[in-house]
Amino acid sequence: MAEIVDTGGGGKGDGKVRAKKMSTRVDMTPMVDLGFLLITFFMLATTMTKPTSMTLNVPDKQDKKEEQQTEPLKASKVLTIFMGRNNDIYYLDGVAADDDNAETALKKASYGTEIRDVIFKSKTRINSQNPKDEAGNDPFVVVLKPTPVSTYKNMVDVLDEMAITKTKRYALVDELTDAEKSLLGDRIKPQPEQ
């Protein structure tokens, strides 16, 4: 640290009144205090995690001209996922909702690893049993059906599972058919007020 050597000035006893030599050291403590106070403020005020965005493309509703006739999806190639209330998922793996054994085929899962396993299993099974279509796409299709009692988080979570399982063909369908409504029954009704 810089310091000025006190040489004592000129000779002694010349009778001049001298000002007392002051130290050139500056006390830095208040400055450090202030510095850290400001650091604390800015650290707390900053939002470090930047939000990310996921894209969702929906088919054009107004443009009716390009509607093509495609063959209906076979239920055996489809995994249907219903988002119910209380963060429950119900799914039909390769079974249509109006099928006779749909009631027993309807299973319940939770978000996270459980539904991920279901998707992976269903994907492997359907892709191994069915050939690829002309365009070279996998036959596996997921139909996502958010029910009126599900939340926005449920939808984002399931869309995220699609990204995680790398399912290319999925459809977000917000209408339930009558067969599905009767199959799900009470599970998609709002919970009675306690």
Partner 1 sequence: MAKVRPKKHPPVTDMTAMTDVAFLLLTFFIMTATFKSNEAVEIATPTSISGIKVPDENIMIISIDNSGKVFFGVDAQATRVGMLENIAETKGVAFSDAEKAKFSQFASFGFPVAQLKPWLALSVEQMKSVKQPGIPVDSTGVSELADWVYAARKANPQLRLALKGDNAAKFPVFKDVLTNLQSQNINKFNLITGSEQPPSGWTPDEQQQ
Side chain identity at residue 54, one-letter code? M
Scanning 55-63, 118-126, 135-143, 176-184 for contacts with partner 1 by CB under 8 A, the matching segment is 55-63
Strand partners, 91: 81, 107
Q: Determine the straight-line distance between the first and last CA of the chain, rounded to whole angstroms.
A: 73
- Residue 125 to residue 68: CA distance in whole angstroms: 29
Q: What's the residue count for the chain?
A: 194
Token pair for 39:
């650091």
φ, ψ for residue 82, nearest 5 deg: -105, 135
Nearest distance from residue 104's CB to partner 1, in Å? 27
Nearest distance from residue 76's CB to partner 1, in Å? 27
> For partner 1, how many residues bind (rule: CB under 8 A)?
50
Residue at token pair 């290319």: 168
DSSP β-ladder status, 88-93 and 78-83: antiparallel
Among 19, 20, 22, 42, binds partner 1 (CB under 8 A): 42
- Residue 95 or 140 having the CB closest to partner 1: 140
- Our finding on whether 191 is near partner 1 (CB under 8 A) is no
- Our finding on whether 1 is near partner 1 (CB under 8 A) is yes
- Residue 122 or 154 having the CB closest to partner 1: 154
Binding mask 97-136 toward partner 1 (x if CB under 8 A, else -) reads -------------------x--------------------
Nearest to 142 by CA among 121, 111, 112: 121
- Our finding on whether 56 is near partner 1 (CB under 8 A) is yes
Residue at token pair 């640290």: 1
Residues in contact with partner 1 by the rule CB under 8 A: 1, 25, 27-29, 31-32, 35-36, 38-39, 42-43, 45-47, 49-62, 83, 116, 146-157, 159-160, 163-164, 166, 174
